[in-house]
Amino acid sequence: METSLNKYISETGFCSRREADNYIEQGRVTINGNIASKGNRVGDNDVVHIDDEILKKRKSSAIYIMLNKPKGVTCTTDQKDKTNIIDYINFKKRIFPVGRLDKRSEGLIFLTDDGDIVNKILRAGNHHEKEYVVTVDKTISTDFIQKMRSGVRILNTVTQPCFVKQEGTHRFRIVLTQGLNRQIRRMCEALGYNVESLKRTRIMNINLNGLASGKWRYFTPDELTTIHSMVSDSSKTADGQDGMDE
């Protein structure tokens, strides 16, 4: 039975479908010794390599962990990037991050080898909440809070209405269900503010409570059950969106 190349790669636990597409575009993926193209399909007898590594289907139980990512770590599986999250976490089996958290940002990110759940979580339109605490470079005005709540024009669109609460003269909390590229930073910049620190504190039903910066833990059985329930009716991904961007 044949499957799409990016799905095949994600199911081996090497990386997400999106990052698989990046490897394919860079000419780093081969099928039976031939350079692969996006849209290729592979069967059970095909041999797939990324760089010099042969990819094999995962046989053991899936891994689900959460990391409190510190600043300076890049959410990529590409080990040519010396700040990549894979070398940082140094897990005994191959895993990959679910979505992105900017190198300058910190906080909660999931890692797994389950390509199916990654695809479901990342699918746009599922309205999965991500909560952030943000500090900006100058005093926050009432007008700023209202505009952040109602929508800001960035990337040729207007952001969806969202929950925003001021928590200090320079700090606010925001809950997003969108995943536009560098969304919070772009929203602030559009209103004349620069982000000095950004921390993701919650994704869906999971928060950072009790997890120190740089540390990770496995999902609890209850957390995993709830997440599987929340993504059970996931719809297809809309082009250009990623439900776990920041």
77: CATH = 3.30.70.580
Alpha-carbon torsion (234, 239, 245, 246), positive or negative: negative
Q: Lowest mean pLDDT: which of 34-48, 102-116, 231-245?
A: 231-245
Three-class secondary structure of residue 5 per DSSP = helix
The answer on pLDDT for 137 being more than 60 is yes
The answer on pLDDT for 75 being more than 80 is yes
Confidence at residue 235, expressed as pLDDT on a 0 to 100 scale: 54
The answer on pLDDT for 132 being more than 60 is yes
User: Across all residues in the chain, what is the average pLDDT?
Assistant: 89
The answer on pLDDT for 209 being more than 70 is yes
Q: How confident is the model at residue 240 (pLDDT cuts 50, 70, 90)?
A: very low
Q: Is residue 174 part of a domain?
A: yes
The answer on pLDDT for 122 being more than 80 is no
Confidence at residue 244, expressed as pLDDT on a 0 to 100 scale: 62
76 shares a domain with 119 = yes
Q: Is residue 244 part of a domain?
A: no
Residues tagged active-site:
102
Q: Is residue 240 part of a domain?
A: no
Which comes out higher in pLDDT, residue 2 or 165? 165
110 shares a domain with 70 = yes
Confidence at residue 60, expressed as pLDDT on a 0 to 100 scale: 66
Q: How confident is the model at residue 6 (pLDDT cuts 50, 70, 90)?
A: very high
117 shares a domain with 74 = yes
Residue 76: domain span: 64-124+209-230
Picking from 166, 167, 135, the residue whose alpha carbon sits closest to that of residue 148 is 166
| Residue 131 bridge partners (DSSP) | 175, 202
Q: How confident is the model at residue 238 (pLDDT cuts 50, 70, 90)?
A: very low
First-residue to last-residue Cα distance in the chain: 37
Alpha carbon distance 110, 100 (integer Å):
9
Domain count of the fold of the chain: 3
What is the domain-level CATH number for residue 46? 3.10.290.10
Q: How confident is the model at residue 245 (pLDDT cuts 50, 70, 90)?
A: low
Write out the DSSP string of 100-169. Answer: ---TT-EEEEEEES-HHHHHHHH-TTS---EEEEEEESSPPPHHHHHHHHH--EETTEEPPP-EEEE-SS
- Tokens, residue 74: 């890049």
218 shares a domain with 115 = yes
Confidence at residue 160, expressed as pLDDT on a 0 to 100 scale: 94
216 shares a domain with 108 = yes
Interval 192-200 mean pLDDT: 97
Confidence at residue 239, expressed as pLDDT on a 0 to 100 scale: 38
Picking from 190, 158, 174, the residue whose alpha carbon sits closest to that of residue 105 is 174
Which of 203, 222, 239 is the last residue in one of the domains? 203
196 shares a domain with 91 = no
Confidence at residue 90, expressed as pLDDT on a 0 to 100 scale: 94
Q: Lowest mean pLDDT: which of 81-85, 123-127, 199-203?
A: 123-127
Q: How confident is the model at residue 79 (pLDDT cuts 50, 70, 90)?
A: confident
For 85, the enclosing helix (H) or strand (E) is helix 85-89
Alpha carbon distance 32, 44 (integer Å):
12
